[in-house]
């Protein structure tokens, strides 16, 4: 029935909203500690962080694939080297 679908959808939205609030609070904590660069692995991580306005400094779609590919590891290393030291 439609009403059951609507209730289920509302519950999913509520859970997603809470997850976004928690992620935002966690990011604010890190940002308050001076963190300003984010590395993401997997499209979900990049998508969730984008929802709270955080852009990735480096992104790779699959962590395991990155570890097994010398070129991808080199790209990660180069991205890390561009982060200014404090």
pLDDT tens for 13-67 read 888 898 999 999 999 999 999 999 999 999 999 999 999 999 999 999 999 999 9
Chain-centre distance of CA 27, in angstroms? 10
pTM above 0.85, yes or no: no
42 closest CA partner among 17, 22, 59, 20: 59
């Amino acid at each position: 029935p439609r009403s059951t679908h609507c209730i289920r959808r509302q519950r999913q939205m509520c859970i997603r909203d809470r997850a976004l609030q928690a992620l935002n609070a966690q990011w604010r904590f890190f940002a308050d500690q001076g963190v300003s660069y984010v590395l993401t692995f997997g499209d979900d991580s990049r998508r969730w962080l984008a929802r709270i306005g955080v852009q990735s400094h480096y992104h790779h779609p699959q962590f395991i694939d990155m570890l097994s590919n010398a070129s991808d590891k080199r790209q990660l290393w180069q991205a890390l080297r561009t982060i200014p030291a404090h």
